[in-house]
Amino acid sequence: MASFPPRVNEKEIVRSRTIGELLAPAAPFDKKCGRENWTVAFAPDGSYFAWSQGHRTVKLVPWSQCLQNFLLHGTKNVTNSSSLRLPRQNSDGGQKNKPREHIIDCGDIVWSLAFGSSVPEKQSRCVNIEWHRFRFGQDQLLLATGLNNGRIKIWDVYTGKLLLNLVDHTEVVRDLTFAPDGSLILVSASRDKTLRVWDLKDDGNMMKVLRGHQNWVYSCAFSPDSSILCSVGASKAVVAAILV
């Protein structure tokens, strides 16, 4: 039987309470949403919260506004309340950095989510070329979505626009993680038994393919200094790779 270490107060855990609910709309004839919610993610700066609402839809919510509504109205469902509905930003206008709610149609079942933020002084690790399609600034915030068809779509959080469509995995993308150093290095873990390393500052070019797993890869994580990547899959082993 599992037990908590001495430093953990079990009574404090029991006291934890629900502060609010975010529910996907019930739409039995709409194959975009309304099914199981499989994944959630917070932006590194806490500005946004994202979760998959079902088949194809991801909802981006400004977390501070959402939390404020929770505290004001208890567990009332913010999503389905017209009086509490958060403002949405049109993809073609509005202030870029002002948090707005977005609903993103990813085109396929969403298995994984990850936020990434840019640090301008971090150069591309892949190639040193002067021209890039995208030049990410310091205030850039990206959302990566891993899909059932093996694709990874990269979205601008502030506008809801699709920026990149990464195509190389042949099976479900089970997990995504950005390097914590602001380099916009993205790693994807897939059922095709591989992990792939992408450099978003180099227009999403794939840097490496890691093939240490013999079965599906479920999850991956960077070390705090972004030099080591660890991953687990359908086996009893943890695979570590040095990326520097």
Contact 117, 24 (CB under 8 A): no
pTM: 0.79
The residue extents of the domains of the chain are 34-67+98-121+130-242
Q: Output the pLDDT for position 237.
A: 87
Residue 188 is inside which H or E element, if any?
Answer: strand 185-190
- For residue 1, count other CB atoms closer than 10 A to its CB: 2
Q: Output the pLDDT for position 21.
A: 72
Question: How high does pLDDT run on average in the chain?
Answer: 79
What residue has token string 């890691």? 210
What residue has token string 């017209």? 82
Alpha carbon separation from 151 to 33, 35, 110, 211 (Å, rounded)? 19, 20, 10, 18
Q: How distant is the alpha carbon of residue 125 from its chain centre?
A: 22
- The average pLDDT across 186-209 equals 94
- The average pLDDT across 225-234 equals 94
Count Cα atoms within 13 angstroms, Cβ side, for 13: 7
pLDDT in tens, 64-116: 877 877 776 555 444 443 333 434 433 344 445 567 889 999 999 999 999 99
What residue has token string 């021209």? 131
What top-level class would CATH report for the domain 34-67+98-121+130-242? mainly beta
Q: Where are the alpha helices (DSSP H) in 50-96?
A: 63-73
* CA gap 171, 110 in Å, rounded: 13
pLDDT in tens, 119-178: 655 555 545 545 566 666 667 899 999 999 999 999 999 999 999 999 999 999 999 999
Alpha carbon separation from 240 to 85, 112, 216, 220, 243 (Å, rounded)? 44, 21, 16, 9, 10
Confidence of residue 228 (pLDDT cuts 50, 70, 90): very high
Q: How distant is the alpha carbon of residue 181 from its chain centre?
A: 16
